[in-house]
């Protein structure tokens, strides 16, 4: 199910003044918008029904009815996950309140991300990884930690993959790729300068690109062959990646598990081969 709120937020920077008025009204009044006819919304936003329909199509909907149907569903999910209690941390919060807020925000992020997953795209990504000679992972900051997690997972099943900590090393990795490799670019914003540079190099080579990001309209997403979206639950200028990192890790877990399931029996044998026996520290 397409997220109306996310689509509108992503499209807003390049919208016309009339479109921005419509977007602003919907974002500020989603509850009342779901009850509006197209004529009522046009009157409230000083626009026209035809302008609203064009906006709906620009952000990926068939028309106004499709947008409203998706909005109603999205708001229902929000209510059911008790999102009104998911707020920013403030200095007056007790430890109990912090536990509640952080946990609820992570749950909300996972629920939203689940609704953004396109099954067909996911299936194509798994097939692409299966056919690839090597998986090249890219990310900086918190996204690098997600890339490292993916690297360790694929290493367990002996699937050729690589990740380099240093950005310059990632540039070299991108330049050494072939069309038989696949790149997984991880960037929450989709605007990370270092990742844009790597994506451009991979794109020029002709290797397929899977982007894990929040925005379909970002430079990285536009260059990618496939987009696995995470929910836009954090500001782009944020104090630390928390719920966004959880959502990215969830996408990696889903992608990896689906890949493992494709060759289940052989991968189970590989798990047994790569299992590291831990010392028994229990006392007699």
Question: What pLDDT is stored for residue 237 in this prediction?
Answer: 40
Mean pLDDT taken over the chain: 88
- Pair of tokens at residue 264: 């289940």
Show the domains of the chain with their CATH numbers: 4-80 (1.10.10.10), 117-273 (3.40.50.10490)
Q: Work out the average pLDDT over 257-283.
A: 78
Residue 100 pLDDT: 82
The CA dihedral of 177, 179, 185, 190, to the nearest 10 degrees, is: 120
- Return the closest-CA partner of residue 171 out of 188, 187, 183: 183
Most confident residue range from 84-88, 174-178, 278-282: 174-178
What tens digit of pLDDT does each residue of 52-81 get? Answer: 999 999 999 999 999 998 898 888 766 655
* Helix orientation angle between 142-156 and 243-262, rounded to the nearest 10 degrees: 20
Whole-number pLDDT of residue 274? 79
Predicted TM-score (pTM) above 0.75? no
DSSP result, 71-130:
HHHHHHHHHHTTGGG-----TT--HHHHHHHHHHHHHHHHHHHHHH--HHHHHHHHHHHH
- pLDDT recorded at residue 276: 74
Least confident of 132-136, 228-232, 235-239: 235-239
Q: pLDDT band for 240, please (50, 70, 90 cuts).
A: low
């Amino acid at each position: 199910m397409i997220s109306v709120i996310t689509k509108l937020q992503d499209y807003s920077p390049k919208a016309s003044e009339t479109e921005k008025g419509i977007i602003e009204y919907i974002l500020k009044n989603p509850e009342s918008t779901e009850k509006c006819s197209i004529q009522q919304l046009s009157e409230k936003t000083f626009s026209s029904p035809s302008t609203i329909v064009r906006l709906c199509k620009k952000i990926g909907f068939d028309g106004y009815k499709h947008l409203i149907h998706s909005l109603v569903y999205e708001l229902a999910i929000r209510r059911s996950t008790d999102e009104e209690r998911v707020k920013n941390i403030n200095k007056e919060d007790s430890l109990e309140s912090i536990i509640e807020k952080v946990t609820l925000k992570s749950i909300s992020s996972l629920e939203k991300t689940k609704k953004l997953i396109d099954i067909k795209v996911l299936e194509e990504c798994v097939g692409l990884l299966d056919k690839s000679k090597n998986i090249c992972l890219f990310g900086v900051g918190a996204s690098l930690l997600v890339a490292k997690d993916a690297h360790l997972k694929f290493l367990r099943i002996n699937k050729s993959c690589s990740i380099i900590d240093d950005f310059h090393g990632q540039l070299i990795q991108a330049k050494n790729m072939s069309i038989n490799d696949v790149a997984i670019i991880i960037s929450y914003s989709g605007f990370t300068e270092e990742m844009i540079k790597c994506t451009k190099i991979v794109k020029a080579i002709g290797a397929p690109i899977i982007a894990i990001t929040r925005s379909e309209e970002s430079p990285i997403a536009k260059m990618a062959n496939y987009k696995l979206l995470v929910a836009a639950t954090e500001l782009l200028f944020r104090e630390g990646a928390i719920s966004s990192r959880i959502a990215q890790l969830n996408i990696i877990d889903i992608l990896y598990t689906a890949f493992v399931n494709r060759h289940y029996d052989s991968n189970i044998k590989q798990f047994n081969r790569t299992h590291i026996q831990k010392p028994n520290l229990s006392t007699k």
